[in-house]
């Protein structure tokens, strides 16, 4: 009879490790399976890690975790071909305890985090693929791995197997995702000296800046680009829904090079040295795409449960919070020795009562709205740029006359009714 565990966690990203760590800390016997050479070797993120949900697992983690810079400034650009309208917030309170968020590089971070789990007693096995869940009498009882004699058993299997979650699909918890439910994102890590980063982004050591870029960064397609400052490198990436990529016949790496060479971006990167290129899918289907998250002997967390808030670029924090909630549900189930769906549904309840599902519910129509009404990215962003240019160009036209001209150019192109309709629709999608 093979060894039996209380919990098997498939995947060593933020969701899986949060769950494994919390279970082990509470005395459960945990096996964590990672298919990569080490945790983080298959994982990709733009790079923002939020303090709050991480701290709820490891208090004061910033004192020892491999972090890059605390983010003290968040900028947003609405970019056109040769201009950009920007706004943002910079606050020094984000630069000291307890912090708001940090830039991180995931390969070192995920290794550190998984090692913390191992310290708590998690048995972490790398280089192992969980090929399928072992199901007996309608209950998940373990996983079949690609190791010889690789069947392992547990009371609960936690699927933290990421955006593609082949195991969730195997169990019928979700169908294959549609191209409009995922965003294909590519990024580069570009090495640049600390001094240059500090100068170009107006930072001091141990201060970071993030820039989210809308509009021409995706050639008007539904998606965003980002530039995040690490200690001595910059992460620059761009993504659109896979459906937009297909429709516009875009090569993602061409789009990335277009962004890197954009007149608004190029000076920030000048002299930098590419160090890594990464592609990954982001689950962006939102509320309607969340699969069944608990079954008999099984729980789904993180990207595998599609827990990403694309509008606020939150994902790893939701992964961590969901992993912790899953662990708490498993601990309760263990006390009752009941691992049925009804028992594990306490995870589902916790998830739906938390900020995670409340936020996903708030934006449940946003992706659909912007996908089906491309004018927001394609027309309004250039329009706003033109309006700002006109308003701030001093040419002897009285300001009231300028305002009238701007209003006329907006309503003239589209018609007043259409504009009001567009504004109302966008407001409804994000209210």
Does position 172 interact with other proteins (CB under 8 A)? The reply is no
Ordered strands of the 273-283 beta sheet: 84-90, 71-79, 208-215, 223-229, 233-241, 182-191, 273-283
Count CB neighbours of 166 within 10 A: 15
Does position 260 interact with other proteins (CB under 8 A)? The reply is yes
Distance CA 394, CA 392 (A): 6
The distance in angstroms from the start CA to the end CA of the chain is: 55
Q: Which residue in 5, 50, 99, 177 binds other proteins (CB under 8 A)?
A: 177
- Of the candidate spans 93-101, 251-259, 369-377, 393-401, the one that interacts with other proteins by CB under 8 A turns out to be 251-259
**DSSP three-state, residue 266:** helix
- Of the candidate spans 134-142, 161-169, 204-212, 356-364, the one that interacts with other proteins by CB under 8 A turns out to be 161-169
Size of the site for other proteins (CB under 8 A): 59
Q: Give how far Cα 74 sits from Cα of 46, 77, 89, 215, 381, Å.
A: 14, 10, 5, 17, 19
Does position 277 interact with other proteins (CB under 8 A)? The reply is yes
Does position 375 interact with other proteins (CB under 8 A)? The reply is no
Does position 44 interact with other proteins (CB under 8 A)? The reply is yes
Token pair 């920030």 in the structure block, residue: 268
Closer to other proteins by Cβ: residue 33 or 360: 33
DSSP 376: I
How many angstroms from the chain centroid is the CA of residue 126? 24
Question: Which candidate, 279, 290, 179, places its Cα nearest to that of 239?
Answer: 279
Does position 156 interact with other proteins (CB under 8 A)? The reply is no
Q: Which residue in 158, 281, 304, 307 binds other proteins (CB under 8 A)?
A: 281
Closer to other proteins by Cβ: residue 40 or 70: 40
Closer to other proteins by Cβ: residue 166 or 419: 166
Q: How far is the CB of 281 from other proteins (least distance, A)?
A: 5
Which residues are registered as beta bridge partners of 295?
298
Does position 65 interact with other proteins (CB under 8 A)? The reply is no
Does position 305 interact with other proteins (CB under 8 A)? The reply is no
Closer to other proteins by Cβ: residue 156 or 234: 234
Interface residues for other proteins in 194-213 (CB under 8 A)?
none
Token readout for 131 is: 């090929």
Does position 149 interact with other proteins (CB under 8 A)? The reply is no
**DSSP three-state, residue 428:** helix
Token readout for 16 is: 């899986």
Residue 401 sits at φ, ψ, to 5 deg, of -65, -40
Can you count the helices (H) and strands (E) in the chain? 16, 17
Does position 40 interact with other proteins (CB under 8 A)? The reply is yes
Does position 403 interact with other proteins (CB under 8 A)? The reply is no
Pairing mode of beta strands 273-283, 130-136? unpaired
Q: Which residue in 26, 100, 126, 389 binds other proteins (CB under 8 A)?
A: 126
For residue 62, count CB atoms less than 10 angstroms from its CB and return exposed for 0-12, middle for 13-18, buried for 19 or more: middle
Residue 127 sits at φ, ψ, to 5 deg, of 55, 35
Does position 45 interact with other proteins (CB under 8 A)? The reply is yes
Does position 145 interact with other proteins (CB under 8 A)? The reply is yes
Distance CA 293, CA 19 (A): 14
Does position 39 interact with other proteins (CB under 8 A)? The reply is no
How many angstroms from the chain centroid is the CA of residue 175? 21
Does position 127 interact with other proteins (CB under 8 A)? The reply is yes
How many angstroms from the chain centroid is the CA of residue 248? 23
Q: How far is the CB of 240 from other proteins (least distance, A)?
A: 10
Closer to other proteins by Cβ: residue 220 or 382: 220
Does position 422 interact with other proteins (CB under 8 A)? The reply is no
Q: How far is the CB of 388 from other proteins (least distance, A)?
A: 30
Closer to other proteins by Cβ: residue 176 or 204: 176
Closer to other proteins by Cβ: residue 107 or 350: 107
Residues in contact with other proteins by CB under 8 A are 35-37, 40-47, 105-108, 126-129, 145-147, 163-164, 166, 176-179, 182, 184, 186-190, 233, 235, 242, 245-246, 249-253, 257, 260, 269, 272-281
């Amino acid at each position: 009879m093979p060894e039996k565990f209380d919990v098997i966690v498939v995947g060593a990203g933020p969701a899986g490790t949060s769950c494994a760590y919390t279970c082990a800390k509470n005395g459960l016997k945990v096996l964590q399976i990672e298919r990569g050479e080490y945790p983080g070797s298959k994982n990709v993120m733009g790079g923002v890690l939020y303090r709050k949900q991480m701290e709820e697992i490891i208090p004061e983690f910033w004192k020892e975790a491999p972090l890059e810079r605390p983010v003290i400034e968040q900028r947003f650009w609405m970019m056109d071909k040769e201009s950009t309208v920007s706004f943002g917030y910079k606050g020094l309170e984000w630069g000291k305890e307890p912090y708001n968020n940090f830039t991180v590089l995931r390969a070192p971070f995920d290794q550190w985090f998984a090692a913390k789990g191992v310290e708590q007693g998690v048995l972490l096995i790398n280089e192992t693929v969980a090929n399928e869940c072992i199901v007996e009498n309608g209950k998940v009882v373990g996983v079949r791995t690609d190791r010889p004699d690789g069947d392992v058993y547990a009371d609960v299997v936690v699927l933290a197997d990421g955006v593609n979650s082949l195991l969730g699909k195997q169990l019928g918890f979700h169908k294959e995702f549609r191209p409009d439910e995922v965003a294909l994102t590519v990024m580069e890590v570009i090495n640049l000296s600390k001094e240059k980063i500090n100068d170009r982004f107006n930072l001091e050591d141990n201060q970071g800046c993030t820039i989210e870029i809308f509009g021409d960064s995706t050639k008007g397609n539904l998606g965003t680009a980002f530039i995040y400052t690490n200690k001595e490198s910059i992460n620059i990436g761009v993504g659109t829904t896979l459906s937009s990529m297909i429709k516009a016949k875009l090569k993602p790496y061409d789009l990335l090079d277009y962004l890197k060479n954009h007149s608004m971006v190029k000076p920030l990167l000048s002299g930098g040295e590419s160090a890594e290129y990464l592609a990954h899918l982001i689950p962006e289907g939102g509320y309607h795409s969340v699969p069944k998250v608990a079954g008999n002997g099984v729980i789904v967390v993180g990207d595998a449960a599609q827990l990403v808030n694309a509008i606020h670029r939150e994902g790893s924090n939701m992964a961590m919070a969901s992993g912790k909630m899953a662990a708490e549900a498993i601990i309760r189930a263990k006390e009752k020795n009941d691992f049925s769906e009804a028992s594990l549904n306490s995870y589902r309840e916790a998830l739906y009562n938390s900020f995670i599902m409340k936020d996903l519910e708030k934006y449940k129509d946003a992706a659909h709205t912007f996908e089906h009404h491309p004018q927001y990215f394609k027309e309004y962003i250039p329009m706003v740029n033109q309006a700002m240019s006109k308003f701030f160009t001093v040419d002897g036209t009285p300001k009231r006359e300028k305002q009238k001209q701007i209003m006329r150019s907006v309503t003239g192109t589209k018609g007043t009714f259409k504009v009001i309709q567009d504004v109302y629709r966008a407001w409804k999608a994000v209210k």
